[in-house]
Amino acid sequence: MSSLHVCPALLISAPASGQGKTTITSGIARLFARRGLRVSVFKYGPDFIDPYWLELASGGAVYQLDMWMTGEQDCSQRLFEAAGQSDLILIEGAMGLFDGSPSAAKLAQHFRVPVVAVVDASAMAGTFGAIAHGLKTYASDMPWAGVFANRVASPGHAQMLSTALNDQADWLGSIERKSEITIPERHLGLVISDELTDAQARLDTLADLLETTPLGQMPKDALQKWNVEFSDPAVQDHTPALLQGKVIAIARDEAFCFIYAANIDALKKLGAEIVFFSPLHDACLPQCDALWLPGGYPELHLEALAANKGMLDSVKAAIEAQTPIWAECGGMMVLFDEIQTVDGNSHAVWGVIKGKVRMQKKLGGLGPQFMETSVGPLRGHTFHYSVCDSEIPATRTTIKHSQLSGLSAGESIYEVGSVQASYFHAWFASNLRASAALFLKSEQ
């Protein structure tokens, strides 16, 4: 195998959140994929929702890249492998280009991936040029591809924006605001593509619009001006088969849908057999040795979750049998006695953890964290719009990671019998031994 793979690559970023990064990245992926190009798409930073759209657009699995949570070596390995089998790599950034620690800009600089800045220009004229110039030159060594204007009012408006640029070569095009390509939002981000019957049609309409832009009109050979060399990190795989022979049941449906593809891969590398089940629709758990309740939107499906008595009885029987259960965020929330929605109404749920979860309109937690274990830290993050009042004390907490403020106490971890539960979302590949321990009985 070659120690170097070369492939065109772009980081799609913006000056802030809400500029339309996911929309434009999905549209570019859909446009080139339907032309027959092999497009690999990544999402920078912790994110469960955007990848649904990126996967639908590209037709392939979308993995996360993060210079802290997944680590430089993991990023290098994934990009190297993608470059060896792709005609184009797209990386959707997080928040603004220089936001976060480490920011998407750090990834662009480290791997020399050219940046495309998406700017919501709906209320702009000449300032569009200033923003583009600032993003391009704020860091002296920033690899740069150009700027794309989103949500413009008219062709005349687009012309005004393009002439505001110091360098006309930076202009990659624009699209107008249209309801048929707008992706709906809610409290945790965009609505997941699976929930919209016209999701594919939206992406095709978006691709049609992008096809008229300078970026969209580029043939395959022209993309090579953005070629990036990705080196083989030559990582030796010494993954221990700690979960060999174990069957792990994973909740996956409309209520529990925050599952990293990399986490599934990690469990399989550890030797586990994976089975999926639906707490909403299935009558009971499948036969399994351990259980994972991932995050999602239990607050949107409270009546159905409470009504499925067979599933509740099956989960409680698994706990009585000392079946290891790892429950994170939404998976933890459903284990409480009740969930109170933002309108103040309380709904009974599974009653494993004594206490109440209260939904709120503001963030309850956000940012990178890690969980200390006997075999080292397990990295991950937190992102939730609820808080919980537990009648049982937390056994420990995760630790917030911040390059600015240092380390501090993070999310509570609750333990009830064989259950471990927290708002913390774990990135299993960051510590395979620690991840395996979540699904093994304590005496092992």
- In CATH terms, the fold of domain 247-437 is Rossmann fold (3.40.50)
Condensed to tens digits (0 to 9), the pLDDT of residues 184-205 reads 654 555 566 566 667 888 899 9
Does residue 444 carry a pLDDT above 60? Answer: no
> What class is the 4-231 domain?
alpha beta
Q: Which of 7, 75, 257, 329 is catalytic?
A: 329
Percent pLDDT > 90 in the chain is 80
- Of 320, 309, 303, nearest to 282 by C-alpha is 309
Is the model's pTM score more than 0.75?
A: yes
Return mean pLDDT, the chain: 92
Is the model more confident about 188 or about 43?
A: 43
Would you call 388 a catalytic residue per the annotation?
A: no
Condensed to tens digits (0 to 9), the pLDDT of residues 332-360 reads 999 999 999 988 899 999 999 999 999 98
Q: Please state the domain extents for the chain.
A: 4-231, 247-437
Q: Which of 35-39, 175-179, 192-196 has the highest mean pLDDT?
A: 35-39
Condensed to tens digits (0 to 9), the pLDDT of residues 278-303 reads 999 999 999 999 999 999 999 999 99
pLDDT at 114: 98
pLDDT at 391: 85
Does residue 309 carry a pLDDT above 90? Answer: yes
pLDDT at 187: 54
